[in-house]
Amino acid sequence: MDFDEKQSFVLGGNAMMVKLSRFYWPPLLILITLLALLSFQITSKTVYPIKIAFTSSTSKDDIVADSRTCVGFFGELPERKAVISIKDFGGVGDGKTSNTEAFRKAMRYVQRFGERGGAQLNVPEGRWVTGSFNLTSNFTLFLEEGAVILGSQDPKEWPIIEPLPSYGRGRERLGGRHISLIHGDGLANVVITGNNGTIDGQGKMWWELWWNRTLEHTRGHLVELMNSQDILISNLTFRNSPFWTIHPIYCSNLVVKDMTILAPLNAPNTDGIDPDSSTNVCIEDCYIESGDDLVAVKSGWDQYGIKMARPSSNIIIRRVSGTTPTCSGVGIGSEMSGGIFNVTIEDLHVWDSAAGVRIKTDKGRGGYIANITISDITMERVKIPIRFSSGSNDHPDERWDPKAVPFVKGVSITNLVSFNSTKAPVLEGIEDAPFGGICMKNISLLGVVSSPSWRCEFVSGFANDVFPTPCPQLQIDNSSSWCSYS
């Protein structure tokens, strides 16, 4: 996210409207079949734990057959002993009544099943207004078809919580920050899924506070999970987040798949998915259009992120498509002070965006970016298809250390085709810390509209089969074992 860039952005009418492309559902994607997921309606006020049967109908051979799925990052879709409905807690899905108490009561109730087979909370068809609530472990939040959870328009229903230790303050404002609409801390085994139900943050109020500069505390996310593991978020539509949409931080073994994430193309900082200081994260088959990066990998901010030293690593981002007119398809950084390594980005399709893949960092960030593998990328009308940049001068406070320069080594980009970009790649490293091991292979930038020559500064690496001819800096280091490795 770039706060500076967005402030001056004005959406050019409907010209940015794009067709929502259908998901690509790989045939072997569905390995686990829910045989009998029935929504038992509970008639009385009493809630009974209801057992539902799940069976795995696929063999291990199928799992091996398509290795390019998130299988392995999250176990089988867990069976839950108790299945209850938000209606059992007095919920009213009329689009007006506040269900904050109903959701909080439901969550307190399901907590008791944590040690006893877990619980699933169903949200039936309807429009369910709510303030923030916290999830629990061994739990599934299931949005049935036509179910819409709507974020409360009362900021008090998004109470202020502590800043994240790796940021030292709210990302936008000093001090605490608004909690996310759906929040979890210290959890294990959580599923947020359904038959394409919707969670709508109704973020407009928050974007206006930001636009008119009256925001007091950093905006909340739609979903934030902290210090958690074994998380699956799938088969839903998330809309209109006040701020970054899905924010896993200090998490491991997290899958986000088959999601549609939407926000107006001018909605500030509405990043799609931001894995932050998290490891073993797999994101696939997502369609995202928003006012900021579709996916941004992060790991904390300047001295706070350096001190915490929690990297983001072992991350796969695959079959993601979408558009963001002022930002990037996939961004690495700019907050990366805890380090980012072993990120694989493949089958990315981006159009009408400012950048395709972007690495953003700065002096003061410290940390490192290493072993980023990017392949099979298609872009149309992306202004700068590949961009490395530094120097946004965006620091948490005056205590940042100018000597803390990031270390960037090993970025491989192969099999990329871009149509009608405005510029050739712009690769700007840092003077005292040039970016090394930049490897480009089989790249075609067709129909570059205005500047077809590459702009490179403080980078070195190797290029092979790249059109138009890359900058000389990419023709010097051909011995890098990393390049031949990938």
Ligand X SMILES: *[C@@H]1O[C@H](CO)[C@@H](O)[C@H](O)[C@H]1NC(C)=O
Given the complex with ligand X, which of 388 and 400 has the nearer CB atom? 388
Contact flag: residue 227 with ligand X (CB under 6 A)? no
Residue recorded with tokens 């491989």: 412
Nearer to ligand X, 133 or 304 (CB): 133
Helix/strand/coil (H/E/C) assignment for every residue in 97-132: EECHHHHHHHHHHHHCCCCCCCEEEEECCEEEEECC
User: Is residue 140 at the binding interface for ligand X, with CB under 6 A as the rule?
Assistant: no
Q: How far is the CB of 121 from ligand X (least distance, A)?
A: 15
Q: How many residues bind ligand X, per CB under 6 A?
A: 48
Q: Which of 58, 97, 420, 422 binds ligand X (CB under 6 A)?
A: 420
As a whole number of angstroms, the distance between CA 80 and CA 236 comes to 19
Cα distance between residue 481 and residue 486, in whole Å: 9
Q: Binding to ligand X by residue 419, rule CB under 6 A?
A: yes
Residues numbered 1 to 30 that lie near ligand X (CB under 6 A) are 20, 23, 30
Question: Residue 80, class by beta-carbon neighbours within 10 Å (0-12 exposed, 13-18 middle, 19+ buried)?
Answer: buried
Instruction: Name the residue nearer to ligand X (CB basis): 32 or 392.
Output: 32
Nearer to ligand X, 20 or 38 (CB): 20
Query: Would residue 292 show up in a list of annotated catalytic residues for this protein?
Result: yes
Footprint (CB under 6 A) of ligand X, residues 294-353:
314, 316, 341-342
Q: Give the whole-angstrom CA distance, residue 481 versus residue 58.
A: 40
Q: For the CB of residue 342, give the shortest distance to ligand X in the complex, in Å.
A: 4
Q: How far is the CB of 402 from ligand X (least distance, A)?
A: 24
Q: Which amino acid is at 213?
A: R
Nearer to ligand X, 206 or 388 (CB): 206
Stretch that binds ligand X, among 119-127, 129-137, 265-273, 329-337 (CB under 6 A): 129-137
Report the site for ligand X in 37-66 (rule: CB under 6 A): none
Q: How far is the CB of 55 from ligand X (least distance, A)?
A: 12
Q: Which of 97, 202, 237, 392 binds ligand X (CB under 6 A)?
A: 237
Q: Out of 2, 258, 292, 362, which one is annotated catalytic?
A: 292
Contact criterion met (CB below 8 Å) for 401 and 303: yes
- The residue with its CB nearest to ligand X is 114
Cβ atoms of 366 and 393 within 8 Å: the answer is no
Q: Is 67 in the site for ligand X (CB under 6 A)?
A: no
Pick from 162, 433, 391, 168: nearest CA to 301: 168
Among 447, 453, 472, 476, indicate the residue that binds ligand X (CB under 6 A): 447
Indicate which single residue of 85, 122, 140, 235 sits in contact with ligand X (rule: CB under 6 A).
235
Nearer to ligand X, 199 or 430 (CB): 199
When the beta carbons of 77 and 129 are compared against ligand X, the nearer one is: 77
Q: Exposed, middle or buried, 258 (CB in 10 Å: 0-12/13-18/19+)?
A: buried
Taking a C-beta distance cutoff of 8 angstroms, is the pair 440, 476 a contact? no
CB nearer to ligand X: pick between 229 and 390: 229
User: Binding ligand X by CB under 6 A: which of 183, 217, 247, 387?
Assistant: 183
Does residue 380 interact with ligand X by CB under 6 A?
A: yes
Among 161, 286, 340, 354, contact with ligand X (rule: CB under 6 A)? 161
Residue 202 lies near ligand X (rule: CB under 6 A): no
Q: Choose, by CB under 6 A, the member of 57, 451, 469, 478 that binds ligand X.
A: 478
Minimum distance between the CB of residue 330 and ligand X, rounded to whole angstroms?
16
CB of 327 to ligand X, least distance (A): 19
The owner of tokens 């087979």 is 117
Let me know: does 270 contact 244? Beta carbons within 8 Å. yes
Query: Quick one: which of 371, 389, 473, 480 contacts ligand X (CB under 6 A)?
Result: 371
- Among residues 99, 122, 234, 328, which is the contact residue for ligand X, using CB under 6 A? 234
Catalytic residue numbers, as ranges? 292
The residues binding ligand X (CB under 6 A) are: 20, 23, 30, 34, 77, 104, 114-115, 133-134, 137-138, 161, 183, 185, 189, 193, 196, 205, 208-209, 212, 214, 234-235, 237, 258, 260, 280, 314, 316, 341-342, 370-371, 380-381, 410, 415-417, 419-420, 442, 447, 478, 482, 485
